[in-house]
Amino acid sequence: MFVVLALLALVSALVVPGLERRRRVVSRIAGLVLKCAGMTLAIRHEDRIPAGQCVIVSNHASYLDGPVFTAVLPPRFGFVIKREMSRVPLAGALLHRIGSQFVERTDRHRGGADARRVLRSATNGQSLMFFPEGTFVKEPGLLKFHTGAFAIAARARCPVVPAVIRGTRRALTSQSALLRPGPIEVEFLPPIIATETAPDKAAAELRDRARSAILRELDEPDATAELAPAVGSGL
């Protein structure tokens, strides 16, 4: 059933005209996919998402995180995703059709061009969704945040909304292709606005404040804590 509905989402994205309409259709199918897979989805404090432009950032625990946020977020949001996903059969085509933006992580030159393209989208008023850890691992814990999402928010002068997703690490582990039924929860935290005015300082401030807010509410350890002495020593 999960595979059938996923294929239905792809077909719908290919034939439905208009980006916002495609996103609405795929969002509904994503919610149906989760329901048919035996997952109950709870959304907390959705009212904290501003009516205007913003950047949403969340912890990342599973390949299921993307479909969950697709089901949850309004259609004005586009996803910013690592470029490797664009080459995944079927999934890459679906992500393209719902307006996802892909960013190269290994090629510095191409990565810079991708970042400028995403920035243009943000300065044109596009609301964006990021997983600033950039990846996820098997073990629970919040990884280091990359600065890209926050640099874009700082330059677009829009708020950052931290979000916490719970339950997806258990529902679809990195070592399994089988879904485990159970509860999934998405909680939106209060929006953050930078107090710094210089873009670089504002980006660092937004990154640190958003990560701290997510870590406080996430029932997982700080995966960077053991690295703190090495960072402090300058090694």
Percent of the chain with pLDDT over 70: 88
What are 24-77's pLDDT values in tens digits? Answer: 988 998 898 898 889 999 999 999 999 999 999 999 999 899 999 999 999 999
pLDDT confidence of residue 2: 62
Among left, alpha and beta (phi > 0; psi -120 to 50; other), residue 32 is alpha
**Contact assessment for residue 210 and residue 148, using Cβ atoms and an 8 Å cutoff:** no
Task: Show the tokens assigned to 130.
Answer: 């990021």
**Distance of alpha carbon 37 from alpha carbon 139, whole angstroms:** 24
Query: What mean pLDDT value characterizes the chain?
Result: 86
In whole angstroms, give the CA distance from residue 194 to residue 198.
10
The residue to which tokens 């690490």 are assigned: 169
Q: Say if CB 85 and CB 92 are below 8 A apart.
A: yes
Residues 162, 213: Cα–Cα separation, whole Å: 7
> What pLDDT, in 10s, does the model give residues 153-172?
999 999 999 999 999 999 98
The full set of domains in the chain, from first to last, is 2-223 (3.40.1130.10)
Q: Which of 163, 154, 140, 168 is nearest to 210 (CA)?
A: 163
Q: What is the pLDDT of residue 206?
A: 97
Q: What's the pTM value of the predicted model, to 2 decimals?
A: 0.86
Report residue 117's pLDDT band, with 50, 70 and 90 as the boundaries: confident
Closest listed residue to residue 162, CA positions, set 210, 195, 221: 210
The answer, yes or no, to whether residue 110 has pLDDT greater than 70, is no
